Chains A and B, each alone.
Chain A
């Protein structure tokens, strides 16, 4: 029976198991050495209760403690300690005991809840028959192992649960004064490989050069699953790196709780950015090409159960709390103590920062507001002393000694798969600056949409091209960020640099552009490694939050496809497809007509060279700006996706990034590669009339669950070798900042020293 006992203790191993698994039936009989017996035990036989996401919780009432067990903390890192039940009793439950390493703190805990006040400040559930209480902003002052045990009585029965935390030592070393943390969103291994091929080329099997990200000192493999899903989204994908805590999908620096009625009161944890500013007076910054309130940049600065709470997140960046706005002050004293204003904030998404009917928002940014509270955060920031900029020239001339907020225009072209929240992709910015063409087309070709007037107002420029020309490149943003951070505190700063469009252009399957994005990250990385990092006191890390399922599958010859005279593959020499809907039943008929004979219906398929036929691509960078002059050279690299909606592919770069799917995710976008190969999808669709892309269809490629590569250079880089969880990266960053350079130097786990009185002391304001 030992095997079953092992399953009963601690954390349930199983995740969601589908119906098919149960139908598979009995455990496999296996020989003595085979441990499949254990893995094959159906879930029905185990306890504790199998919840929607199995958690370390007591049977019957689901008593649990947050942070989750095995969270990796550092000394003096703030976290909220929450005890809660999940299933209500008949009467209000009572906390019987709360011990840390055997020392009882129940009375002090209750006193703290009283001092904080019930309601939002303590996470009090709306249901009085649930137990829920959060002591805010606690810290473990000494490294070691801490066991927290809670006993709650529900309707006469005591329930017990235990969590264990590891707290690592931290004391800032003079060896590391700066950290630059590059996050390539969805920049999995295939993208790094493709970027090397695009950027450097191959000759007789050897890469003709190495990217900056290839030349770093140490490489590790990072697992990216979240608290509740094998495949993460960008929220815990970033937040886990900077806190040491696994978190649920869609959550930013908090855990789930039993008050789903409020997404801002969840139990929180301090990020490394907040910690370094609070404890060491470090300057902190975030640079991105996504909208600033998007999950990755928000991951260093904000706390909410819902990443979509963009307008509150924007305020948290500035540490600006006000009743009557998206981020109120009442009920959020502890949250305000936790968040820290950033010194450098550069990215997109003005509509979270400017109010309804704001002229700049419409005429310059082409957007309408997300805010319903009338707040103008540009004004708030200015009053707080920030320089506020919106184009690359104002960015370059901003004073170094003042905090900096910069928001730039997005890709507002009406058909673009990106949108006005997100900074235009680098390929499109290169075209706007006359530094690249797409299939030979330059900015004056109407297909690229660069000559069009911006859709709402012309304050950013009379043409789309003029507006895009004023958007800074990532290296320009990083250069300014570092200048400001060095002026604000030369003795210490930490900077997040996100390349977002490696993900946002991969979702609509625009892979040529994705690889250009990786090259833009690499260019900014080179700027840091060859500049700032030469001081020997700058730790540089390059990693990803997760991958997407795209990979390199072969090559093709664009001139053979493009339909130029005499090309072997005539345009339209493939399937044509038409979609019709029955007016009464709503049922769809998709007809696919092969242009040629049955044995060779799609000559476009002859254009792809896969496997043995993968001739080396021939990308050209004649102006040596670090990017290929054209994404469709003589021989072009092809990436395609393992998870996708149905879409059409002609292997030529699209003039404007386009959505892949049509009226449903089962049918292709008729405007995108209409003469291409029909690639059917494997993403969920829902038969919900009226058929609409937004009704339960997954019209974009998703994320994947693979490990990602992390590379590190600078003091402490050795610590990042090996394979580890994204949440374990946090402790490695802390170890590097504490001057440890060697994995073997990490401390043995001893029980931590706790003074219960000190642990429950109210925090100093």
Chain B
């Protein structure tokens, strides 16, 4: 068992370094609790993935964004939505498709105790 794990971990190292092993990130950016709970889709938001170098896309009218060929790993992701302060969160990218919906109401901690 120990031997197998050795092989796997070496293999994993190779995976992390090999850009051919990459994923797609797809998600939508929105804020569930806004507008007295009616919610808000965040269109035209700049989404920046802190890969090296970083890359930025803009969400469409449905709040959708997509990054292709992202090497597997964990990244910070920054969202600058119109008229909103910048928000930062984390996501982990894997092979295949990583679904990362970015709900500001989940990312941001409430400030008023009534929101807890």
Instruction: Given the known inter-chain contacts A26-B12, A50-B94, A249-B106, please indicate yes or no for A44 contacting B73, CB distance below 8 A.
Output: yes
Q: Could you tell me if A44 and B16 are in contact, using CB atoms closer than 8 angstroms?
A: yes
Q: Which residues of A contact B110 (CB under 8 A)?
A: 233, 698
Contact of B32 among A32, A50, A229, A263 (CB under 8 A): A263
Per-residue interface assignment for chain B, residues 2 to 42, with 1 indicating a CB less than 8 Å from any chain A CB and 0 otherwise: 10011011001101100000000011101011101111010
Instruction: Given the known inter-chain contacts A18-B90, A249-B106, A260-B32, please indicate yes or no for A87 contacting B37, CB distance below 8 A.
Output: no
Q: Which residues of B contact A696 (CB under 8 A)?
A: 85, 108, 111
Q: Could you tell me if A306 and B116 are in contact, using CB atoms closer than 8 angstroms?
A: no
Q: Could you tell me if A260 and B103 are in contact, using CB atoms closer than 8 angstroms?
A: yes
Shortest CB distance A396–B (Å)? 29
A551 part of interface (Cβ distance < 8 Å): no
Give the most central of B36, B62, B105: most A CB within 10 Å.
B36
Q: Could you tell me if B12 and A87 are in contact, using CB atoms closer than 8 angstroms?
A: no
Shortest CB distance A295–B (Å)? 9
Q: Which residues of A contact B85 (CB under 8 A)?
A: 686, 688, 695-696
In the complex, what distance in Å separates the CA atom of A227 from the CA atom of B12?
30
Q: Which residues of B contact A22 (CB under 8 A)?
A: 73-74, 92
In the complex, what distance in Å separates the CA atom of A19 from the CA atom of B89?
11
Q: Which residues of B contact A43 (CB under 8 A)?
A: 92, 94
Q: Could you tell me if A311 and B36 are in contact, using CB atoms closer than 8 angstroms?
A: yes
Q: Could you tell me if A51 and B95 are in contact, using CB atoms closer than 8 angstroms?
A: no
B51 part of interface (Cβ distance < 8 Å): no
Q: Could you tell me if B37 and A504 are in contact, using CB atoms closer than 8 angstroms?
A: no
B99 part of interface (Cβ distance < 8 Å): yes
Q: Which residues of A contact B63 (CB under 8 A)?
A: 260
Instruction: Given the known inter-chain contacts A44-B15, A250-B105, please indicate yes or no for A62 contacting B97, CB distance below 8 A.
Output: yes
In the complex, what distance in Å separates the CA atom of A742 from the CA atom of B39?
45
Instruction: Given the known inter-chain contacts A26-B9, A51-B101, please indicate yes or no for A260 contacting B28, CB distance below 8 A.
Output: yes
Q: Which residues of B contact A51 (CB under 8 A)?
A: 98-101
Shortest CB distance B32–A (Å)? 5
Q: Could you tell me if B113 and A700 are in contact, using CB atoms closer than 8 angstroms?
A: yes
Q: Which residues of B contact A21 (CB under 8 A)?
A: 74
Per-residue interface assignment for chain B, residues 70 to 111, with 1 indicating a CB less than 8 Å from any chain A CB and 0 otherwise: 001111100000000110001111111111111101101111
A601 part of interface (Cβ distance < 8 Å): no
Instruction: Given the known inter-chain contacts A250-B33, A308-B115, A686-B85, please indicate yes or no for A702 contacting B99, CB distance below 8 A.
Output: no
A57's nearest neighbour on chain B, judged by CB, is B99
Per-residue interface assignment for chain A, residues 300 to 321, with 1 indicating a CB less than 8 Å from any chain B CB and 0 otherwise: 0000111111111000000000
Per-residue interface assignment for chain A, residues 118 to 138, with 1 indicating a CB less than 8 Å from any chain B CB and 0 otherwise: 000000001100000000000
Shortest CB distance B115–A (Å)? 7
Give the total of A residues in contact with B, Cβ under 8 Å.
77
Shortest CB distance A315–B (Å)? 13
Q: Could you tell me if A261 and B41 are in contact, using CB atoms closer than 8 angstroms?
A: yes
B112 part of interface (Cβ distance < 8 Å): yes
Shortest CB distance A687–B (Å)? 10
In the complex, what distance in Å separates the CA atom of A421 from the CA atom of B112?
13
Q: Could you tell me if A306 and B39 are in contact, using CB atoms closer than 8 angstroms?
A: yes
Q: Could you tell me if A127 and B1 are in contact, using CB atoms closer than 8 angstroms?
A: no
Instruction: Given the known inter-chain contacts A44-B15, A49-B99, A308-B37, please indicate yes or no for A19 contacting B116, CB distance below 8 A.
Output: no
In the complex, what distance in Å separates the CA atom of A417 from the CA atom of B113?
9
Contact of B111 among A370, A422, A688, A697 (CB under 8 A): A697
B42's nearest neighbour on chain A, judged by CB, is A260
A503 part of interface (Cβ distance < 8 Å): yes
Instruction: Given the known inter-chain contacts A419-B114, A698-B111, please indicate yes or no for A262 contacting B98, CB distance below 8 A.
Output: no
Q: Could you tell me if A370 and B9 are in contact, using CB atoms closer than 8 angstroms?
A: no
A17 part of interface (Cβ distance < 8 Å): yes
Q: Which residues of A contact B62 (CB under 8 A)?
A: 126-127, 261
Shortest CB distance A316–B (Å)? 12
Q: Which residues of A contact B113 (CB under 8 A)?
A: 417, 503-504, 507-508, 700
Instruction: Given the known inter-chain contacts A22-B74, A698-B109, please indicate yes or no for A307 contacting B94, CB distance below 8 A.
Output: no
In the complex, what distance in Å separates the CA atom of A703 from the CA atom of B116?
8
Instruction: Given the known inter-chain contacts A17-B74, A37-B5, please indicate yes or no for A49 contacting B94, CB distance below 8 A.
Output: yes
Instruction: Given the known inter-chain contacts A51-B99, A127-B62, A702-B116, please indicate yes or no for A262 contacting B106, CB distance below 8 A.
Output: no
In the complex, what distance in Å separates the CA atom of A310 from the CA atom of B28?
25
Shortest CB distance B27–A (Å)? 7
In the complex, what distance in Å separates the CA atom of A249 from the CA atom of B103?
11
Chain A 73-88 interface residues, beta-carbon cutoff 8 Å to B = 86-88
Instruction: Given the known inter-chain contacts A61-B97, A263-B32, A702-B109, please indicate yes or no for A19 contacting B15, CB distance below 8 A.
Output: no
Instruction: Given the known inter-chain contacts A45-B12, A47-B96, A51-B101, please indicate yes or no for A18 contacting B74, CB distance below 8 A.
Output: yes
Q: Which residues of B contact A47 (CB under 8 A)?
A: 94-96
Q: Could you tell me if B97 and A27 are in contact, using CB atoms closer than 8 angstroms?
A: no
A46 part of interface (Cβ distance < 8 Å): yes
A to B CB contacts below 8 Å, 8 in the list = A44-B16, A49-B94, A86-B26, A88-B64, A260-B28, A305-B39, A306-B32, A422-B114
Having A50-B94, A127-B62, one finds 5 other A-B pairs with CB under 8 Å, namely: A22-B74, A88-B64, A229-B106, A307-B33, A700-B113
Task: Please list the 10 inter-chain residue pairs (A to B) with the smallest Cβ-Cβ separation, ordered nearest first.
Answer: A309-B37, A507-B113, A306-B37, A308-B37, A51-B99, A260-B30, A44-B72, A308-B33, A22-B74, A263-B39
Q: Which residues of B contact A (CB under 8 A)?
A: 1-2, 5-6, 8-9, 12-13, 15-16, 26-28, 30, 32-34, 36-39, 41, 62-64, 72-76, 85-86, 90-103, 105-106, 108-116
